[in-house]
Chains A and B, each alone.
Chain A
Amino acid sequence: AQSVAQPEDQVNVAEGNPLTVKCTYSVSGNPYLFWYVQYPNRGLQFLLKYITGDNLVKGSYGFEAEFNKSQTSFHLKKPSALVSDSALYFCAVRDMEDQTGANNLFFGTGTRLTVIP
């Protein structure tokens, strides 16, 4: 079975400070990992993904994420937070070996990021 945990419902950070949004996963095989962002009254927008290769993945809007296989984590990071980064962030996983459904993603419960001016 596949699952994702986002242990923090809410993260607050001051503008200009570094931010981290945590994500851990569980899959039978190797994971494909994704981060999405949801702004108010908008759909989910893709930020970045880890497929293979370099453990540090860079994505949109200055975000990056580090894949750590031993800790089964894929934390989202940004060196300097902006007020406009305030949104709901979702981590998602797909099991590389899952043959039951082509592209089914399993989502975490989301983390609301608030950047304080």
Chain B
Amino acid sequence: EAQVTQNPRYLITVTGKKLTVTCSQNMNHEYMSWYRQDPGLGLRQIYYSMNVEVTDKGDVPEGYKVSRKEKRNFPLILESPSPNQTSLYFCASSNTDHTDTQYFGPGTRLTVL
């Protein structure tokens, strides 16, 4: 089954404790992206990647890092999480054609205390 998977689905952590949210897709997509969803703000892009070893900032990159060492994986790293990073995070992937649909993972709900 074609899908985007994320782990963990739920995470409660404390300020300053490094964490990684994994994202993996099995559709051989070149493009991958991370979003955060906050009430009243919709989805905002954090980082995106157009292919292996190619990443770029989205609209809200502060406090986040990403890497793209393999085509299928695009982990999101919070080196020192803060409470304002409490949010619902989504990973998405697609081909790089501008007409292509992005497919989303199930989401990761992160709470930083």
A→B interface (CB under 8 Å): 6, 9, 32, 34, 36, 41-46, 49, 51, 90, 92, 94, 96, 101-105, 107-110
Contact = CB atoms under 8 A, between A and B. Distances in A.
B84 interface: no
Interface of B: 4, 30-31, 33, 35, 40-45, 48, 50, 56, 58, 90, 92, 94-107
Given A44-B104, A101-B48, A32 B42 contact: no
A90 B94 CA distance: 18
B50 A51 contact: no
A46 B101 contact: yes
Contact of A32 (B31, B98, B106, B107): B98
Given A102-B50, A102-B96, A102-B98, A43 B42 contact: no
A99 to B, nearest CB: 10
Contacts of A101: 48, 50, 56
Nearest to A44: B104
A51 B58 CA distance: 23
A102 B106 contact: no
Contacts, number: 66
Closest A-B pairs by Cβ, 3 of them: A109-B42, A107-B43, A44-B104
A103 B31 contact: yes
Interface of A is mostly: loop
A103 B107 contact: no
Given A101-B48, A107-B44, 19 more contacts: A6-B42, A42-B106, A42-B107, A43-B104, A43-B105, A44-B43, A44-B90, A44-B104, A46-B101, A46-B102, A46-B103, A101-B50, A102-B30, A102-B50, A103-B31, A103-B48, A103-B96, A104-B33, A105-B45
Contacts of A43: 4, 90, 104-107
B95 to A, nearest CB: 8
Nearest to B100: A103
A105 B35 CA distance: 10
Contacts of B30: 102
